[in-house]
Amino acid sequence: MYSLRIVQNVLQKKLHLKLSAPVLGGLRQTSHSHDKSRELEPPNADATTETLMDLHGRRHDYLRISLTERCNLRCQYCMPAEGVSLSPRARLLSFAELMRLARVFAALGVGKVRLTGGEPTLRADLEEVVRALRGLPGVRTVAMTSNGLALARRLPALQRAGLTHLNLSLDTLRADRFERMTRRPGLAKVLACIDVALQIGIRPLKINTVLMKGFNDDEVGDFVEFTREREVEVRFIEFMPFAGNEWAAARMVPERAALAAARAAAGTGLRRAARAARGDTATLWEVAGHAGRVGFVSSMTRPFCGGCNRLRLTADGSLKVCLFGAAEVSLRDAVRAGASDDDLAALVRAALRRKHPQHAGMKSGDIVQGSNRPMILIGG
CA–CA gap between residue 225 and residue 198 (Å, rounded): 17
CA–CA gap between residue 121 and residue 141 (Å, rounded): 18
Position with higher pLDDT, 369 vs 50: 50
Where do runs of H (alpha helix) occur along 82-154?
95-107, 126-134
CA–CA gap between residue 166 and residue 238 (Å, rounded): 20
Under the banding of pLDDT at 50, 70 and 90, the label for residue 254 is very high
pTM value is 0.84
Portion of the chain with pLDDT greater than 70, in percent: 77
Q: What is the pLDDT of residues 147-194, one digit of tens each?
A: 999 999 999 999 999 999 999 999 999 999 999 888 888 999 999 999
Does position 295 have pLDDT exceeding 70, yes or no? yes
- State the DSSP H helix or E strand holding residue 293, giving kind and residue range, or none if neither: strand 293-297
Q: What is the pLDDT of residues 57-116, one digit of tens each?
A: 999 999 999 999 998 887 776 666 666 788 999 999 999 999 999 999 999 999 999 999
Position with higher pLDDT, 192 vs 275: 192
Does position 312 have pLDDT exceeding 90, yes or no? yes
CA–CA gap between residue 118 and residue 146 (Å, rounded): 9
- Tell me the pairing of strands 62-66 and 112-116: parallel
The answer to whether residues 75 and 169 touch, using CB atoms and an 8 Å cutoff, is: yes
- What is the number of helices (H) and of strands (E) in the chain? 12, 12
Give just the sign of the alpha carbon dihedral 157, 158, 163, 165. Answer: negative
Under the banding of pLDDT at 50, 70 and 90, the label for residue 124 is very high
**Quick one: average pLDDT of 118-128?**
96
Model pLDDT, residue 28: 37
Q: What is the mean pLDDT of the chain?
A: 84
CA–CA gap between residue 282 and residue 292 (Å, rounded): 15
**Quick one: average pLDDT of 304-313?**
89
Query: Measuring CA to CA, which residue among 150, 247, 143, 260 is closest to residue 202?
Result: 143
User: 339-371 burial, b if ≥16 CB within 10 A, otherwise e?
Assistant: bbbbbbbbbbbebbebbbebbbebebeebbebe
**Quick one: average pLDDT of 210-228?**
96
**Quick one: average pLDDT of 255-281?**
87
The answer to whether residues 75 and 84 touch, using CB atoms and an 8 Å cutoff, is: no
Model pLDDT, residue 230: 97
Model pLDDT, residue 9: 58
Model pLDDT, residue 82: 67
User: Residue 99: which residues within 8 A CB-CB, separation 6 or more?
Assistant: 39, 40, 132, 133
